[in-house]
Amino acid sequence: MKRLFYRLLRKLGILKRININSSIKLNQKSITIPINADVGFDNLNISEPWMVEVLESIDIGRGVFIDIGVNIGQTLIKVKSIYDEIEYIGFEPNSLCVSYVNRLIEINRWRDITIVPVGIMQESSILSLEYYSDSSTDSSASLVPNYRQNSKIYKRETIATFSVDRVKHLWKDKSISVIKIDVEGAEMDVILSLKDIIKSDRPTLLVEILPIYEENNSKRLDNQIKIESILNELNYIIYRVYKKEDNSFESFKEIKSIGIHSDLTWCDYIFSPTKII
């Protein structure tokens, strides 16, 4: 009932003019969800429910959880519902998302969390973040120029990117146990930046890789082949995450190659240094 009321406020345009707090329950834990001028409304419904089971199946241990592509904290909420004490470091170049997530952390009194307002790439630079919807927190925004070739670009925002070498002091001598990467086409660049850490710490990688669709999409294909080459070099195993119709978790399946496909339900992968099934 509460969510229906908020949807009505959103439809009427009222939600954009007020700040309110709501709550959800996940894994028997109550989590406060701030909604600030409509930002955060989407956190009232748990996106990608399959990821909760995936996170529960991973042995995180005492290592640091790195989240590259925080957006409005969708993964952070899931992580904190499972692991109270884990140290989390998130990277997000969208300044509005960073402001919102800092409020989410504050209102829930979560500890051992660092949000860094930059993107991660091979080179430290100033780049353009291209938005493919009119949402100021667009989760499909990409640092790859014209990544969705046939889609309208609503706006561009100038943001900073750092190489991993510029930020690794944040975890000092601690090891990295899990890295989640959701960067809308920039996966290869991020993985190359992380390569030395992947080699030394052997973390589990949770990565979204969008479809190539067809063979003549040469740039996406080349990047995907490079990712597979890096994983083979580092002796990582590729697992595709399969989901049920309600987007809950169904199974993992080891695959040798990501391949050419157009199935948007086949976009989520676990890259593991050891067998997980």
pLDDT in tens, 158-187: 999 999 999 999 998 899 999 999 999 999
Tell me the percentage of the chain whose pLDDT exceeds 90. 83
Tell me the percentage of the chain whose pLDDT exceeds 70. 97
In terms of pLDDT, which residue wins out, 59 or 136?
136
The pTM assigned to this predicted structure is 0.94
* Residue 8 confidence (pLDDT): 72
Q: What is the C-alpha to C-alpha distance for residues 257 and 266, in angstroms, rounded to an integer? A: 12
Largest CA distance in the chain: 54
Q: Above 80 in pLDDT, residue 9?
A: no
Q: Where are the domains of the chain?
A: 15-117+164-272
Task: Give the highest mean pLDDT range of 12-16, 38-42, 55-59.
Answer: 38-42
Q: Above 80 in pLDDT, residue 247?
A: yes
Residue 40 · residue 108 · CB < 8 Å: no
Could you read off the pLDDT of 251-262 as tens digits, one per residue? 999 999 999 999
* Residue 3 confidence (pLDDT): 66
Q: Above 90 in pLDDT, residue 134?
A: yes
Q: Above 80 in pLDDT, residue 234?
A: yes
Could you read off the pLDDT of 192-210 as tens digits, one per residue? 999 999 999 999 999 999 9
Specify burial of residue 31 (Cβ count, 10 A radius: 0-12, 13-18, 19+): buried
For 15-117+164-272, the fitting CATH number among 3.40.50.300, 3.40.50.11540, 3.40.1390.10, 3.40.50.150 is 3.40.50.150
Q: What is the C-alpha to C-alpha distance for residues 235 and 247, in angstroms, rounded to an integer? A: 30
